[in-house]
Amino acid sequence: MTGRIFAGAATAIWLMAGVAGAQEQVWIQVEAQPTLRAAEDRARDYAGALGDVAGFRLPSGWYAIALGPFSPGDAAAVLSRLRSFGQVPGDSFIADGTDYGAAFWPQGQVTPPATAPGLVPDAPVLTISPIPEAPDETEAEARASERALDRPAREALQQAMQWFGFYRAAIDGAFGPGTRRAMSEWQADRGLPVTGTLTTAQRAQLLAEWQGDLAALGMTRVAREDAGIALDMPMGMVAFDRIEPPFVHYTGDGGRKALLISQEGSPAGLAGLYEIMQTLEVIPREGERALSGDSFEIRGRNGEIESYTYAALEDGLIKGFTLVWPPEDARLMARAAQMMRASFEPVGDSALDPTLGDRQAEQRIDLLAGLEVRQPIRAGSGFFVTPAGDVLTAARGLEGCARLTIGDDIAAELTQSDPDLGLALLSPTETVAPMAVARFAPGPARLQAEIAVAGYSYGGLLGAPTLSFGTLADLRGLTGEDALDRLAVTVTEADAGGPVLDVAGGVLGLLLPRGMDGGRVLPEDVNFSADAAAITDWLGAAGVEIVQSDPSTALPPERLAMLAENLTVLVSCWAE
């Protein structure tokens, strides 16, 4: 095929350069017609002015007229130029060709453009020559050349200034005060003389910068029948990776990711997905977020990544997307997210088949459909000491937490701490109604009495505390500390902060972390607790009302286990 020279001010040459192997290819779809005759007439009109015009039948029965094929980056630049000079409709878009069926143009061509989504085997790549450099102009000459611009060219300049954040009004091709102000701001930002009128060279520079951004992003129309989603995606930044329902994964370099979200659902399911998405590492906690009746948006950011998520419920289907990028890509990728949102379209009447994907993919409890679930940097135990939900826990390690939670991700604040006793008091930031509150044993237990330590031995993995049984070995520490009790019981690090209970369910103490005994290496079953007398004195000074237990009746094991479950709470320390 021979390349053509485009007519008009945006002179560009399409050169055919053969390449070996499968190349990622896209098309610029300029319009669609309902009948073959109308489509052939329009294809003939385009072929008289533009090069590489093709036509294909669509699944809907309509006929698409397209230009190409191109590489994604070249397609974005060509489309920008064509729009700038009014040679294609303003709603032309980049398509991956997956919906293109039999060709009707050029006449005599009978094969579809691609054998696999986005790939054309042994296809030529179209490259673009640079825009010729324009000479400098006086302001009067600049206004004169500006008056020669048609409406699409003027709109393209507004779109380019809007892209860079200088123009904030409607795209109408009218160069009023808002456009003039935007031109002045752009000139000032680029270190050019501020006149409010762009010279031909400046217009070319502005459009080239815009085209460069579009080429880098490679915004491409992606239509996935399996997910029932069509939208423009930055395929210059990400590429298809895998399917793990309810997500279609796209990945790129430097932490760039995109997810298409597709599942069946209900209003409750949408609300649940809104909460679940916020537990993922790819969606940082900081940022604006909002859930309405039928959709949600989540913006996340931290020092490592930023993200945008949108999802909506329609006809029992939840569909949406997430885009993730490193902070240095913020300007480009935030615009890409806006374009994805503006172009997003749920299609079809089904969601992603939950049986799709690689059955051999890694499965872990801290993975959700292939995505890392945010985990605390430390997890421990605590127990309720007031009806308002205040929690007593071990103090060590809490000072390094960006935030604290108790139970099922309820935010809490550190209100009291005593490093010497090893105690800390946490207060929830929302209303909590504990099922049980600590009742403290009225006096010291007898030596060698049976005790049970309640704690989240495995962090939050089991969803409930476990009981570790042992005996009270001594009413003092190894060097005679009155505020400590020595226990003969084997526990885990995450049990620290949990209550030490007697057989009647009374609290005898709080399990302290190992290593608070002078750093000595002790046998595994030697552990220590802050005793009840030290705890109640400290809590009383903090204004907590102390309730005593009835030591006269031992609880059956099942009732002791139920009390421990209602009383004990998971305490989590988070990095963000």
∠ CA(326), CA(329), CA(334), 5° rounding?
100
- CB-based burial label for 360 (10 Å; 0-12, 13-18, 19+): exposed
CATH number of the domain bearing residue 291: 3.40.1000
Asked whether residue 241 is domain-assigned, the answer is yes
Angstrom distance (rounded) from CA 462 to CA 325: 34
Q: What percent of the chain has pLDDT over 90?
A: 56
Mean pLDDT estimate for the chain: 84
Q: Are residues 438 and 406 in the same domain?
A: yes
Backbone angles phi, psi at 291, to 5 degrees: -120, 125
Mean pLDDT value across residues 332-345: 93
pLDDT for 48: 80
Asked if residue 267 has a cis previous peptide bond (ω within 30° of 0), the answer is no
User: Do 36 and 78 meet the contact criterion of CB atoms below 8 Å apart?
Assistant: no
* Each residue's pLDDT tens digit, 7-58: 333 333 243 333 323 447 888 999 988 888 889 999 988 888 787 899 999 8
Mean pLDDT value across residues 461-486: 88
Q: Are residues 155 and 289 in the same domain?
A: no
pLDDT for 127: 38
CATH number of the domain bearing residue 144: 1.10.101
Q: Are residues 396 and 486 in the same domain?
A: yes
Q: Are residues 414 and 266 in the same domain?
A: no
Angstrom distance (rounded) from CA 384 to CA 428: 11
Asked whether residue 250 is domain-assigned, the answer is yes
For the entire predicted model, the pTM comes to 0.58
Q: Are residues 487 and 425 in the same domain?
A: yes
Q: Are residues 415 and 515 in the same domain?
A: yes
* Each residue's pLDDT tens digit, 401-428: 888 998 878 899 999 999 999 999 999 9
Q: Are residues 314 and 423 in the same domain?
A: no
pLDDT for 488: 94
Tell which of 372, 403, 420 closes a domain.
Answer: 372
Tell which of 332, 354, 372 closes a domain.
Answer: 372
At 319, the pLDDT band (50, 70, 90 cuts) reads: very high
Q: Are residues 471 and 571 in the same domain?
A: yes
pLDDT for 7: 34
105 pLDDT above the threshold of 70? yes
4 pLDDT above the threshold of 60? no
pLDDT for 11: 33
| Boundaries of domain holding 46 | 14-128
Q: Provide the Cα torsion 214, 217, 223, 225; round to 10°.
A: 180
Tell which of 168, 191, 217 closes a domain.
Answer: 217
CATH number of the domain bearing residue 425: 2.40.10.120
Q: Are residues 39 and 182 in the same domain?
A: no
